[in-house]
Amino acid sequence: MIKTGEPALPKSMRICLYLALPLCLSLPANASQAQSAAPVIKYDTSDNIIYPVQARHGMVATEQRLASQVGLDILKRGGNAVDASVAVGFALAVVLPNAGNIGGGGFMMIHDARSGKDVALDFREMAPSSASRDMYLDSAGKVIPRRSTFSHLAVGVPGTVAGLTQALSKYGSMTLKDLLAPAIKLAEQGFEVTPHLAGMLDASRDHLGKWPASRAIFFKGDRPLLAGEILVQKDLAKSLRLIAQQGPSAFYEGAIAQKIVAEMAAHQGIMSSADLKNYKAIEREPVKGTYRGYQVMSMPPPSSGGVHIIQMLNMLETYPVRQQGVNSAQNIHLMAEVMKLAYADRSEYLGDPDFYKVPVKALTSRAYATELVTKIDPDHATPSSQIKPGKLQAYESDQTTHYSVADKHGNVVATTYTLNLLFGSGIVAAGTGITLNNEMDDFSVKAGAPNAFGLIGGAANAVAANKRPLSSMSPTIVLKDGKPFLVTGSPGGSRIITTTLQMILNVIDHDMNVAEATLSPRIHHQWEPDQLRLEKGISIDTQNILAQKGQQIRVSRPMGRTQTIQINADGFEGFSDPRNPDGKTLGF
């Protein structure tokens, strides 16, 4: 019998090739044990692994092991992948407060085994009805610093509660009350702050410390909580209990909504009770493509992720990627040139499809890919200044999080949701315990002006009332012969798309298991700025060859934090990216 955590052979023997990566050597020692008379959920870091976790009956991969345990418990109780995903989504709002949320929004990809249906659920935040195109500009037309990131005007109407509850009502099997119970317990009893979370809190001390309601939760005296101290969130527990009892109406029309609107009104925010009441999650058709015989499905607009993953795969399929070798100079140069072309198109053609006619079919057509690859010089980098959005025929945040779930019935769920930046706006709506997003910065606040991730946008992604901002979030499901094969996704702002792309290439082209695919050093190019970002681990000889080709190289901090499950004939293999040491994959 295969046990959870047993190494997969023979591929895992190759893992040693990647262990030189600094990011894989930074796993923390056990967190110090806090002294408290109250019951505390303990944080176990004793079983970090560097090979795929294996299981037969179900699997959960998240960025926070307490949330992974919540999802696994739901699967063991007979819940399906959607049930577990809903429970995980609410649990992450407690134990991963820098990104997990009910004050933000995101996207969920579902493969429903009963019907064979593939669903893209859009619960992205929306601009309030009083939002306007120039709301972040001064009288001279210049962008007002921090207004779209760290003020009450930065907050979009949250979608997470609507999205998770809609997924449950249509595709789940358990009650909302049962699925919220673990998150309520975690919020009420508290849990140990991990070294990683302590670092996030310290990095955010300025914009969290500015607001009394935020300080009351995340600070002890005049400093953020430290590793080993206990994070208790009583107000959040009360909000979660209201949602468990009353459903989404508690958030969008009831006591929670009233407190959010009061918070806005007290600080010149523009979100109204009508904005909350009118919010709806939307079920959309996934963006679909094929790659070397596999079917690839990802999020459609207002995510740009699915479109550009398919677009880049279409271009790459014309090349012998496997023969080039993973992260060879030739392979990296090709990927960089493909990424530039896709991100140039992103700047021009992507936006909310309810406001702008996004040419998805044209961007994802093989004919267009064939046209684009003629622009790629195998020996020389094309400067970004010479790349313009393509002529088409009749077109995010580091502090996002992704989780993947698969069950024994063939249901799989890939979910990516976010507050945008670290702890979002840093604003907790007084009396709710809910940290609010700063997703309005994902709009193009001014044509040609980069957002917090350096991404350029134009009219397609301009601010407008009731509009959803463009996103890079890319929850993705890969099918083999019509059945789920790979479930993956990542946080990482503008690097989400390229991180997800490389996971697919590593598994399909380079025959890696999911641990190897995760640990392999990543690259990223987003057209502007004209920089090829490389993680540590790419050899200096390869970097020299790339420089000779004209690539502008920048050695980057770690990129992405994937949570991936591969489904095989005899069960599941999964892996949580050690770029966040708090993550864990669990199966049974």
Query: So which residues are the catalytic ones?
Result: 400
Distance between CA 284 and CA 4 in Å, rounded? 35
Residues making up the chain, counted from first to last: 588
DSSP state of 63: S
For residue 406 the two structure tokens come to 């698969």
First to last CA, the chain: 11
For residue 547, give both structure tokens.
């420089």
Which helix (H) or strand (E) segment holds residue 50: the answer is none
Q: Output Rg (C-alpha) for the chain, integer angstroms.
A: 22
Question: DSSP labels for 340-395?
Answer: HHHHHHHHHH-S-TTTS---HHHHT-HHHHHHHHTT--SSSPPPGGG---------
Beta bridge partners of 576: 563
Helix (H, G, I), strand (E, B) or coil at 103: coil
- Contact, 445 vs 461, CB < 8 A? no
Q: Residue-wise over 318-340: b if at least 16 C-beta within 10 A, else e?
A: ebebeebebbebbbbbbbbbbbb
Type of residue found at 10: P
What is the number of other CB atoms lying within 10 angstroms of the CB of residue 285? 11
Contact 144, 137 (CB under 8 A): yes
Q: What span, in angstroms and rounded, lies between the C-alpha atoms of 219 and 225?
A: 5
Give the separation between CA 273 and CA 277, rounded to whole angstroms.
6
Question: Which two structure tokens, joined as six digits, stand for 531?
Answer: 């920089």
